[in-house]
Amino acid sequence: MTPQESLSEISRRAHALVEEQYAILNQEILPLLSNECIRVLTRESWTQPQINYLKEIFHQDILPVLSPIGLDPAHPFPRILNKSLNFIVKLDGKDAFGRNSGRAIVQVPRSLPHLIELPEEFAADGRAFVFISSIINYFMTEIFIGMTVLERYQFRLTRNSDIFLDEEETEDLLRAVQGELIHRQYGDEVRLEITHHCPSDLEEFLQARCDINRDAIYRIPGSVNLNRFSDLFDLIKDQKYYFKPFTQNMPKMLKRNKSYFDALQKQDILLHHPFDSFQAVVDFFTRGRH
């Protein structure tokens, strides 16, 4: 297969896989979690008390770390950080400097957690979680004071982070690696994920600015970057939702005999790691030292 053929086959298969991934999430996992009274609330379902609470969080903790970037033809398109979650915002009206730029980009800060939990009194029953990105999305108008936010959509850009080194032609390997590492942050764009309901004019705008092929665009029916759900693993500790913790086995022969050396005199002992405990080996050495 030539690189070209591989790329188009990858695109075909990866699109199908991503579609399957979100089908599993939306049709199986989220309903099941909801049955267990674990809910990740979407903006549409927020109640007024919840909105008031989240508004306070937005102003206290989120707004100070946001840095929206206005887009206009006079400036180059900003370098979107690799794998960061962003909003492309369509605006109407003039900003404080009287400029009518029309579009802006808001990056979801990396310093904040992806998900926060609502206090018990705000959750109807069970536990309720909200994505930070949903909060930013909901209160977007408060960022662009004096302007009207017409539309906003999530998108995420993935860059080439491969390190290319030709060992034959490189004389100073250290220097070559240093050079490549700097370059790594600013690799070429290889994938663009956008919310599935993003209109085609904004899609084309992003596609052109990111210089990306049409078949490298993935329309996402749900939250872009599902790994953001991984915050839940720290917030939900209930053991019944997880695999049973695994306890390593200590071979019977070693448990029975006080001295490992006596045990080993009787027979050989085979340890099967990681199923058998590493402690046996550690003990063996510490006892041997005495």
Q: Which tokens in the block code for residue 23?
A: 């089908």
Q: Rule CB under 8 A: is residue 261 a binding residue for other proteins?
A: no
Smallest gap from residue 195 Cβ to other proteins (A): 16
Per CB under 8 A, 240 contacts other proteins: yes
Q: Which amino acid is at 269?
A: I
Give the Å distances, CA to CA, from 215 to 9, 126, 168, 226: 10, 41, 35, 21
Query: 210 in helix, strand or coil?
Result: helix
Q: Which residue has the tokens 């004019």?
A: 201
Closer of 9 and 92 to other proteins (Cβ):
9
Give the H/E segment covering residue 87: strand 85-92
Contacts with other proteins, 80-99, as mask; x by CB under 8 A: --xx----------------
Among 42, 84, 101, 160, binds other proteins (CB under 8 A): 160
Q: In this structure, what token pair is assigned to residue 8?
A: 């188009």
Question: Judged by CB, which is closer to other proteins: 4, or 265?
Answer: 4
C-alpha pair distances (Å), 182 with each of 84, 163, 167, 212: 18, 10, 18, 22
Q: Please, which residue, 36 or 92, has the CB nearer to other proteins?
A: 36
Q: Considering beta carbons, is residue 25 or 63 the nearer one to other proteins?
A: 25
Phi, psi of 181 (to 5 degrees): -65, -40
What residues line the site for other proteins (CB under 8 A)? Answer: 1-4, 6-7, 9-10, 13-14, 17-18, 20-21, 24-25, 28-29, 32-33, 36, 82-83, 158-162, 164, 167-168, 187-188, 190-191, 225-227, 229-230, 232-233, 236, 240-243
